[in-house]
Amino acid sequence: MSPVAVWSWVLGIGALGLVVDQVTKAVMLVVLDPAHPIPLLGGLVTLQLLRNSGAAFSMGEGFTIGLAIIAIAALIGVLAWFVPKVRHPGWTAAMGLLVAGISGNLADRLFRDPGPFQGHVIDFIQLPYFAVFNVADMCITAAAVVVIWLTLITKVGFDGVPFADAAPEAGADAGPTDE
What distance lies between CA 67 and its chain's CA centroid? Answer: 14
Q: What is the pTM of this model?
A: 0.86
Residues 6+ positions from 149 with CB-CB distance below 8 Å: 90
The active-site residue out of 21, 108, 137, 159 is 137
- Residue 47 confidence (pLDDT) above 70: yes
- Cross-strand partners of 36: 33
- Cross-strand partners of 110: none
Active site residue 137: yes
The active-site residue out of 21, 33, 108, 123 is 123
Q: Give pLDDT, residue 166.
A: 41
Instruction: Report CA dihedral (32, 33, 36, 40) to the nearest 10 degrees.
Output: 10
Q: How far is CA 33 from CA 41, 120, 126, 179, in A?
A: 19, 16, 14, 79
Q: Determine contact, residues 34/124, Cβ cutoff 8 Å.
A: no
pLDDT above 90 covers what percent of the chain? 77
- Residue 57 confidence (pLDDT) above 90: no
Residues 6+ positions from 8 with CB-CB distance below 8 Å: none
Per-state percent for the chain, helix, strand, coil, to nearest 5: 55, 15, 30
Q: What is the mean pLDDT of residues 23-32?
A: 97
**Window from 45-49, 153-157, 168-172 with minimum mean pLDDT:** 168-172
Active site residue 123: yes
Q: What is the DSSP letter of 60?
A: T
Q: Determine contact, residues 150/90, Cβ cutoff 8 Å.
A: yes
pLDDT greater at residue 18 or residue 164: 18
What integer best gives the mean pLDDT of the chain? 90
